Chain A
């Protein structure tokens, strides 16, 4: 890491593990439950959030000295909504197909608490470059969990990955289905996403016991 100082590199790597936005900071849970029934949707959401959070953190950080503290939450909301809407409009005009895929996520991104959470916790008190790194790091940490949850939910719920039938065909009874395997329809519903996230948190805390809070 010649480009980044140690402190800056930590901004990128911490959210991947010991300060993960979903499993430790408990930010962005709603979208982690809502859109992880398929791996593809998880990946699209992860990339979109990375873009918005990276850019949004920089904008908020640049404005941090002029934002009145009384209305800072509204200002943050306006900034992120404006960014997302402009991107959506530009995509609609020049990459219509792509915008159709992403349009569902627009509302989810604007109201995603991970974005407000990082604006509030980091960008308001730090310089743009560090805020940018923090945004990217947190978005990657968020994306990793999203993709892991999406992987298990799609595999166990539909027997597919990215739409490919990896376990055989449930209707024609080929592959695993020939020996009596059944898809678990529960995995498609949001409560199971919460349970998967819970299992990830469990694994993470049993590997790193310092994360467990003292009672």
Chain B
């Protein structure tokens, strides 16, 4: 049977029209919604940073951010200083939280000096230093924010991911995993950077030992867990020299 839809010219014209139509529809949606999406992302960054330093609405077992309406005000209230570390140069910048860590990592690879944002927060008289980290999970990017005190002992952590497996790797953003990092030491006894490893079978499932540089891994999420270890090691190491200056 021969229909008009079988001819080559019809197929070509159909393809061209379809591509143009779909392309412009998608472009329209993407560009008209972009301001909203960017705003949501900006608020989310503030919520993430606040979450890491303990400003959140956690209940017994689930992780909850401060609500989006107050995130901006809370951010100004708790974050006292935002600094950018670039080599030996340290500058203050109130928009440091908008720095794209991915871009900075690419810059570092290209041999340029990387900008390292660090957020200094204060809550109940305690000072927190929150640093962003970013790395690779099993399927896609993973990232997070780690709040430390001036001895680089973790005070809080928030992890997130783009597309880890639901129920397995995606559980890095669950309370039971993130909370294990609290109290862990990043530096060993002599002050060298050691990081924190997401370890299988470390016989410390409830994480009593805070100085073993290990937290218990998630079953079925080995590669995501390794990614978390790797991004902690590679990204937080860069802040060590800054923390040393705090001690002087």
Contacts and interface: CB of A to CB of B under 8 A. Distances in A.
Contacts of A38: 166-167
B33 A68 contact: no
Interface string A64-104: 01111111001100100010011001101110100000011
Interface stretch (A8-16, A29-37, A115-123, A136-144): A29-37
Contact of A41 (B6, B18, B167): B167
Interface string A30-60: 0000111110110011000000000000000
Contact of B166 (A35, A70, A96): A35
Interface residues of B, number: 33
Contacts of B22: 78, 82
A26 B205 CA distance: 40
Given A90-B29, A92-B40, A171-B206, A104 B163 contact: yes
- Among B3, B44, B170, which residue has the most Cβ atoms of chain A within 10 A? B170
Contacts of A96: 40, 44, 68
Interface string B163-186: 111111010000000000000000
A89 B37 contact: yes
Contacts of B5: 65-69
Q: Please indicate which of the listed interface residues A75, A90, A96, A163 has the most CB atoms of chain B within 10 Å of its own CB.
A: A96
Contacts of A92: 33, 36-37, 40
B25 interface: yes
14 contacts: A38-B167, A44-B166, A68-B10, A75-B18, A85-B26, A89-B33, A92-B33, A93-B37, A103-B162, A104-B164, A104-B166, A107-B163, A171-B205, A185-B220
Interface of B: 3, 5-6, 10-11, 14-15, 18, 22, 25-26, 29-30, 33, 36-37, 40, 44, 61-62, 68, 162-168, 170, 205-206, 219-220
The 4 A-B pairs at the shortest CB distance, nearest first, are namely A37-B167, A38-B167, A41-B166, A93-B36
Given A65-B5, A86-B26, A90-B29, 10 more contacts: A37-B220, A45-B166, A66-B14, A68-B6, A71-B15, A86-B29, A93-B36, A153-B167, A157-B219, A185-B220
